[in-house]
A = this chain, B = another copy of it.
Amino acid sequence: MEKATAVANPNIAFVKYWGKTDEELNLPANPSLSMNLAALTTVTTVEFRRDLPADLVTVDDRPLAGPALARVLAHLNRIRALAGIDHKAWVASRNDFPAGTGLASSASAFAALSLAATRAAGLWLDESALSRLARRGSGSACRSVPAGFCLWEGEDDETSYARQVAPAEHWNLTDVVAIVSREHKPVGSHDGHGLAPGSPFYAARLAAVPGWLADVGQGIRQRDLGLLGLAAEADALAMHGVMLTSLPPLLYWEGGTLAVLKAVLDWRREGLDVYFTMDAGPNVHCLCLAATAAEVEGRLRRLGVPEVVVSGPGQGVRLVDHYLF
């Protein structure tokens, strides 16, 4: 059988996905809209081999274990079932960005794994089928399959996948990520999703999502940062409002988080065109145009943010012709 290597970027959602209607299928309670992040990549090589006694998975040269390994094995089993094979797999994956910093490495990881493993198993999936498959591994991974700006919507397993709404070249929107903490979040996104319906704000956020989705979609089409940015901020704060009113409260923020959020609001009052969004973690994604990114990065560093990543829109998951083993 073949060996295959795929490269994928993580993505940042401007309208988030928080809460699921189907835990097993990773069907989200609301549509989401994201941009792939060109500056960050996961590279994954997969080979199915008859001579392997067991699946072997390494991430950044360390063998994977525990629940993280179980998630990958479950995904490999899905692909083996699709291909009608029972070979064990050798999987090596490498990230060029710090893992565990809330940069959505599971999105790029499961997008790259889905493409590399299906190719290695002799399958050719089209983009929508690949996005559906990636979704089963990690919900947001489906948005890292198409290139550029992606909308994830759909009702059931058949229809729930991400589609491109604009290519990466459409707009020089830039994400300046303030990495305020490298600590691993105390409650993972998976458990967080399960707590969401317990918040008194859960339904209210879902009811507000279509409005934000419309604004973000129009913001991308018209390259209107203000329209996209205000909706992205409102949605991110609403998601964190749902989190903090879950039982028990999910407090993903750190002191540095608050400092950056307040700074971005202050900078905008001063006239700098920058907006924030956040994932399920303490880091703050500052959204601006490419021309403003250096200014935003400099201000974040002067604020004392220990690490800053600057990224424009990225491509979709793709095959490359080199291998990690």
A259 contact set on B, CB distance < 8 A? 255
Task: State the Cβ distance, A248 to closest chain B Cβ, in Å.
Answer: 7
Of A35-43, A134-142, A162-170, A235-243, the stretch lying at the interface with chain B is A235-243
Contact B247 A234 (CB under 8 A): yes
Asked if A249 is an interface residue, CB under 8 A from chain B, the answer is yes
Contact of A205 among B200, B208, B249 (CB under 8 A): B200
- Name which residue of chain B comes closest to A246, CB basis: B237
Q: Is the CB of B249 within 8 A of A245?
A: no
- Report A82 CB to chain B, min CB distance, Å: 41
Task: Determine if B247 and A244 form an interchain contact, defined as CB atoms under 8 angstroms apart.
Answer: no
- Say whether A234 contacts B238, CB under 8 Å: no
Taking the nearest CB of chain B, how far is it from the CB of A199, in angstroms? 8
Contact A238 to B204, CB < 8 A, known contacts A251-B262, A254-B258, A256-B255: no
Q: Is A90 part of the contact surface with B, judged by Cβ < 8 Å?
A: no
* B residues in contact with A248, CB < 8 Å: 265
A226 to chain B, nearest CB (A): 13
> Does A123 sit within 8 A of B, measured CB to CB?
no
Contact of A200 among B204, B247, B251 (CB under 8 A): B204
Looking at A233, A245, A248, A254, the one whose CB has the most chain B CB atoms below 10 A away is A245
* A304, chain B: closest CB distance, angstroms: 11
Task: Say whether A291 faces chain B, with CB atoms less than 8 Å apart.
Answer: no
Q: Name the distance in Å between A227's Cβ and chain B's nearest Cβ.
A: 14
A253: B residues at CB distance < 8 A? 253, 258
A171 CB–B CB distance under 8 Å:
no
Determine the chain B residues whose CB is within 8 A of the CB of A257 once the complex forms: 258
Chain B CB within 8 A of A289 CB: no
A204→B249 CA distance, assembly (Å): 17
User: How long is the Cα–Cα vector from A244 to B208 in the complex, in angstroms?
Assistant: 15
Closest B residue to A202 using CB positions: B204
1/0 contact trace for A85-116 toward B, CB 8 Å?
00000000000000000000000000000000
Residues on B with C-beta less than 8 A from A208 are 200
Question: B-contacting residues of A (Cβ < 8 Å)?
Answer: 200-201, 203-205, 207-208, 230, 233-234, 237-238, 240-242, 244-245, 247-249, 251, 253-259, 261-262, 265
Given contacts A230-B247, A249-B261, A255-B256, list 7 more A-B pairs with CB under 8 A: A204-B204, A234-B247, A241-B242, A241-B245, A255-B255, A255-B258, A255-B259
* Interchain residue pairs with CB less than 8 A apart (5): A200-B234, A204-B204, A233-B249, A238-B245, A241-B244
